[in-house]
Structure 1
Amino acid sequence: MTKSYDLVVIGTGTAAGVVANRCRKAGWSVAVIDNRPYGGTCALRGCDPKKMLRRGPEIVDAARRMEGRGIAPDGLHIDWAALQTHKRGFTDPVPAKRERGFAEQGIATFHGTARFLDQTTIAVGDDRLQGRRIVIATGMKPRPLGIPGEALVTTSDQFLELEHLPRRVLFIGGGYISFEFAHMAARTDAGVTVLTRGPRPLTAFDPDLAGLLVERSRAIGIDLHTRATVEAVERDEAGLRVWASVGGTRRAFEAELVVHGAGRIPAIDELDLAAGEVRAGKRGVEVNEHLQSTSNPAVYAAGDAAATAGPPLTPVSSLEGKVVAANLLQGNHATPDYTGVPSAVFTIPALARVGLLEEEAKAQGLDVEVKFTDMRGWYTVQRVGETHAAAKVLVEKNTGRIVGAHLLGPESVEAINLFALAMRNGLGADALKNFVSAYPSAGSDLGYLV
């Protein structure tokens, strides 16, 4: 039997929830589908649980930095199992709460893998859903590694559910997932190795600040290898052995746990998009400026499943969900504005950015002043015993416009939000110089960084 709706949403994460809720409030009949527990990546397998697990390592690291400065961290250690229990106090209620919320609004809920039958019909199990409009918001999943022994590798989703953290952990990939998890594991006193294919890790962030973070990472015992191509993973009597080509030399690395942090891809391959005449590429569903499919006008896409100019971040998914909802309800008129969207690597300390990298600004032909500030001697850094902190801010010379800001250090993520607010609202360097903040605080540093 076919059930008809004004809107069928595939996914129940941030973007999906925004679209479904707004259209339902406008009187549309709405159905949502998910083949995983309701809630999406951020709430269940990403941002939120990651930050919950980070709290323990954050406290241990803070205490160790203050040793000899009034704190005696003798015996302080992380109880990983208890930390997991703490985290699940937040994540476990999410699926039922999210599904209950949909039902209370009159949104029909379906569980299973969605599959296009034609341009406007979705199959999920034995149900057939006809949608006047369809939104794809299925998020991302770990990309296949394509190496022998891949089944022995733990995904980032699985890492966040580990009851026990082994003593030797190896991470494949040099992006934010590997670095965030490596910093967690290192604070449990595990032996940690990171293998990255390129000449440097964290390529989406400023190379000078990323280099300082690499120094900090090595100082806490993380063994980082660049130009390392993982070739295979195998089990041996001691645990797992990872074979990799490092600078052209084949080497073996021993570990008890090998974690996949080598990138994610849009989770769209099970949707049978061809049957729905929905065109997609490596970056996701191809959409126009209104986030409408370029090949099937009944379909829109948002969040990590869409090939947009926005970075794969939860706030971007929310932003794009709002744009899709506006265009569905009022006709195509809205486009996403990605100005001033910050991102961060939640290492300890955190590395954050908003706007352009130095090389990107030069490639665009912008005449910018690049101000690099070594902050290691600053009060806000020394107060907490941090050893690595710096900032780089890019200001357009003829306008005073801030085109990029990059921070490493304590409270860098909160400070980057102030730069983001300034950029999104057209506040230039002079506005930040004249900003009167609470003191002492991370915000009180801003005027000295531009």
Structure 2
Amino acid sequence: MQSFDLVVIGTGSAGKTVAEAVRKAGKSVAIIDKLPFGGTCSQRGCDPKKVLVGAAEVVARSAQLVGKGIDHTTSIHWPDLIQFKKTFTDPIPENTEEKFTEQGIQIVHGVATFVSDNTIRVGDDELVAKNIVIATGHRPQTLNIPGEELLTDSTGFMELPELPQEIVMVGGGYIAFEFAHVAARAGASVTILHQGKRPLEGFDADVVQLLVEAMRALGIFIVLEAKVTAIEGEPNKLTVQYERDGANHTASANLVVHAAGRVADVEELALDKAHVEVGKKGVLVNDYLQSASNPIVYACGDVAEKGLPLTPLASYEGKIVAENILGGNKKTYSNDPVPSTVFTVPPLASIGLTEEQVKKEGRKAKILFQETADWYSTRRINEAVSGFKTIVDEDSDQILGAHLLGSGSEEVINLFALAMKHKITAKAMGEMLFAYPTHSSDLSSMLPD
């Protein structure tokens, strides 16, 4: 049995941030992971995904400009793209372990399981700690359907040596939409089966509809209110059974991708033995990100029930936890709006309240929704669809929400985030002078009068 000041479970952005900060303060630290060290974002999530999206953007841009100065559409050679992606991901586990070792953080491989409030077992070893941080992230949720084992998850998709010709995405969230764009631009036939009435349910409905129309024009088949009931067949020759409008339907595919949501990865932790409570979204924590039922345990990143599952938030939460462990509970979680982006082509970016949320809260607000395919910034690259919706409080002139679709949206949304964080009014934002012609220079035309 070994004793530490801190044991961290998970080596992603949240866990890494806590472990390094506490170790830098001179405390003894061990860090555990059942997967290759380095976390989801850098190896199996946002970073490698963006490499694939970058290739899709090149294909899309060339296709948009054929006949307008570009001779022909380029194409993706999938094996080369995956090899390029691996130049980013393959070195991460070894580099992460080396850095931890240099810092004096003890690394432990294996599945962590609580045996008491302050003790964790990994294999035959037991670790006792003054504080324990759970930063295990998310995993694909179990669908409880026959043939579920035939599904490929997002990790598997980004490791495919060859891209299959027919792909079905189960789910209508950002993973399904992003991978659909990559696969379609790489030449695959893609179908999205989504159980809900509309996809990307956390984003503004009108702007999402513009994106859906663009995807359908691209040839991506989107079926809504489709409940998948079974997967049948064998690898590379699969049939998806689904119900819609009271009837049974099928879709054939070479590959079926699980994109139907993710849940907190806590199943193997035996949290009941540590008296740590879990809710629908993850480990229940207070404003200090401390377990509501076991004060020596903290949780941060996607596994915690606060906030959105975004990498910048994971790092931010890791800093909060480290400060509270080292200095006592003083640092609390802030609910400042956080921007998020769906890296489709073009991207969809969002921050703050949607129109639906504003109306539900009964707030008086000015709302401007506009399609912008005729704007110069869209026309110069011949992008077929773009648009935005902005929401401004009538009394305070504060920006309540911004929802953007189009090239450059993933960067412009950060200007809205800055304004909302620092209480810059819509009037002041509209008076800002930006370099022209840029996507940012469109901002003054996006604000309601």
Q: TM-score normalised by the shorter chain: which range applies?
A: over 0.9
2:337 equivalent in structure 1 = 340
Partner of 1:430: 427
User: Which residue of structure 2 lines up, in the alignment, with residue 39 of structure 1?
Assistant: 38
From 374, 386, 399, the counterpart of 2:383: 386
Contact 1:340/1:421 (<8 A) preserved: no
- Is residue 235–residue 254 contact of structure 2 (8 Å, CA) maintained in 1? no
Give the distance between the partners of 2:320 and 2:258, measured in 1 at CA.
33
SS at match of 1:420: helix
Residue correspondence of structure 1 range 14-413 to structure 2 within 5 A: 14-74=13-73, 76-235=74-233, 239-308=237-306, 310-413=307-410
Pairwise CA distance, 1:238: 7.4
AA matched with 2:358: A
Could you tell me whether the CA contact under 8 Å between 1:117 and 1:276 is conserved in 2?
A: yes
Q: Distance in 2 between matches of 1:384 and 1:336?
A: 41
Contact preservation (8 Å) 1:10, 1:32: yes
Contact 1:149 1:233 (8 Å CA) reproduced: yes
Give the C-alpha shift of residue 100 in structure 1. Answer: 0.8
CA contact (8 A) 1:138 1:268 kept: yes
Equivalent residue letter for 2:353: L
Shift of 1:394: 0.5
Q: Deviations over 1:169-227 (max 9, x none)?
A: 00000111001000111111211100000111111111001001000000111011011
- Tell me how far apart the structure 1 counterparts of residues 357 and 441 of structure 2 sit (CA, whole Å): 28
Distance in 2, matches of 1:3 and 1:140, equals: 28
How much has 1:16 moved relative to structure 2?
A: 0.3
Q: Secondary structure at the match of 1:337?
A: coil
Structure 2 CA distance for partners of 1:227 and 1:372, relative to 1, 3 Å: same
Alignment CA distance shift 1:288-1:255 (3 Å): same
Quote the offset at 1:236 in angstroms: 6.1
Confirm or deny: 8 A CA contact 1:319 1:336 kept in the other structure: no
| C-alpha contact (below 8 Å) 1:81/1:164 kept by paired residues | yes
SS at match of 1:286: coil
Q: Distance in 2 between matches of 1:23 and 1:242?
A: 48
Number of residue pairs the alignment of both structures matches:
447
Is contact 1:375–1:389 with CA below 8 Å preserved after alignment? yes
Q: Distance in 2 between matches of 1:345 and 1:64?
A: 21
> Could you report, residue by residue, the CA deviation over 1:235-262 in whole angstroms, capped at 9, with x for unpaired residues?
1697101110122210111110000000
Structure 1 window deviating more from structure 2 (366-375 vs 211-220): it is: 366-375
Indicate if the aligned counterparts of 2:150 and 2:235 stay in contact, CA closer than 8 A.
Answer: no
Once residues 298 and 114 of structure 2 are traced to their aligned partners in structure 1, the CA distance between those partners, rounded to angstroms, is 14
1:281 Cα offset (Å): 2.0
The residue aligned with 1:5 is 4
For 2:391, the aligned partner's letter is L
- Tell me how far apart the structure 2 counterparts of residues 149 and 269 of structure 1 sit (CA, whole Å): 21
Q: Is the contact between residue 209 and residue 390 of structure 1 (CA under 8 Å) also seen in structure 2? A: yes
Distance (whole Å) between structure 2 residues aligned to residue 169 and residue 248 of structure 1: 24
Using the TM superposition, give the Cα deviation of residue 10 of structure 1 relative to its aligned residue in structure 2, in angstroms. Answer: 0.3
1:8-36, CA deviations, whole angstroms, 9 ceiling, x for partnerless residues?
00000000011011111111111100000
Name the % identity. Answer: 49
Displacement of 1:338 after TM fit? 3.1
Instruction: Give, in whole Å, the separation in 2 of the partners of 1:403 and 1:77.
Output: 41
Query: How many Å separate the matches in 2 of 1:389 and 1:79?
Result: 28
Question: 1:327·1:334 contact (CA, 8 Å) conserved in 2?
Answer: yes
- Does the residue aligned with 2:192 lie in a helix, a strand or coil? strand
- Quick one: which amino acid aligns to residue 449 of structure 1? M
Q: Which runs of 5+ in 1 are unaligned?
A: none
List 4+ stretches of structure 1 deviating above 4 A. none
**Equivalent residues of 2:236, 2:255 under 8 A apart:** no
Structure 2 unmatched ranges of 5 or more: none
CA distance in 1, matches of 2:212, 2:396: 34
Instruction: Provide the rounded CA distance (Å) in 1 between the counterparts of 2:238 and 2:274.
Output: 43
Q: Which amino acid aligns with 1:56?
A: A
Distance of 2:300 and 2:234 partners within structure 1: 43
TM-score by length of 2: 0.98
Q: Retained in 1: the 8 A contact 2:3–2:129?
A: yes
The answer on whether the counterparts of 1:401 and 1:429 sit within 8 Å (CA) in structure 2 is: yes
Is the 2:235–2:255 Cα contact (8 Å) retained in structure 1?
Answer: no
Quick one: distance in 1 between partners of 2:320 and 2:441? 35
Q: For 1:256 and 1:247, how far apart are their aligned partners in 2?
A: 25
Question: CA deviation digits over 1:55-78, x for unaligned, max 9?
Answer: 11110110000011100125x211
Q: Distance in 1 between matches of 2:404 and 2:439?
A: 11
Once residues 275 and 333 of structure 2 are traced to their aligned partners in structure 1, the CA distance between those partners, rounded to angstroms, is 24
